[in-house]
Amino acid sequence: MTKEAFLNKKPVIRKVWPINIIGIKNTVQETGIQSCYFYGSDRQKITDVFAVPYKGHLYFQLNGIFENCNKNDRNESSSIHNSFARVILGGGNYFYTEAPLANAWAQGFARGGIGAAVGGALAQSQIHGKGIVWDFKNQEFNIFKNCKIYNEFMLEIHPEGVLDCKNKHQNPYLVRK
């Protein structure tokens, strides 16, 4: 679906199937694939879409997330832009998903400042599973880059959900709760 089709709740009918992403640990296994690529009946990878509904689940494409994120989240990146992340939780105001993302500046510094082999490994170590919320009211994604940003988001809408940040990355199990 395009963003407009998603907002208008008018999905395009097209046969698709998911393929697991090799090397990505799917963290939420109880109800299906968390991170995948989608392919169409023409055996081509689906790209340049906002979302895909599949077997009762909704998947957002990372490119769609990056193109429609809050202006403060624009420096997040992924090495798998055309992949999709399944919505884990949803309600009338928000959809929540998780995806392996990294700060683009930190990855660029690691690759360019240190050297090819070591820099590439360091850049990959910058990738963390981060929580992402689609905000219906503002029609944008908010990426929980760290625990502090998660708490700032929660303070306004659910102060009881603020976490005690022991380190900079939030605990995904507590965020889902």
What span, in angstroms and rounded, lies between the C-alpha atoms of 10 and 5?
5
Question: What pLDDT does residue 104 have?
Answer: 54
CB distance 36 to 83 below 8 Å: yes
- Of the candidates 101, 63, 70, which has an alpha carbon nearest to the alpha carbon of residue 84? 63
> Band of the pLDDT at 177, cuts 50, 70, 90?
confident
pLDDT at residue 159 tops 90: yes
User: What does the mean pLDDT of the chain come to?
Assistant: 79
What was the pLDDT predicted at 23? Answer: 60
- 117-155 pLDDT tens trace: 443 333 333 335 789 999 999 999 999 988 888 999 999
The mean pLDDT value for 146-168 works out to 87
Q: Mean per-residue pLDDT for 61-65?
A: 93
Q: How confident is the model at residue 89 (pLDDT cuts 50, 70, 90)?
A: very high
pLDDT in tens, 94-113: 999 998 887 654 444 434 45
Query: Which SS3 state, helix, strand or coil, does residue 115 take?
Result: coil
Cα angle for residues 72, 86, 8 (degrees, 5° grid): 75
pLDDT tens digits for 16-27? 988 887 665 555
Position 125, amino acid = S
Q: Which residue has the tokens 């939420």?
A: 28
**pLDDT score of 154:** 92
The pTM of this model reads 0.80
The amino acid sitting at 92 is G
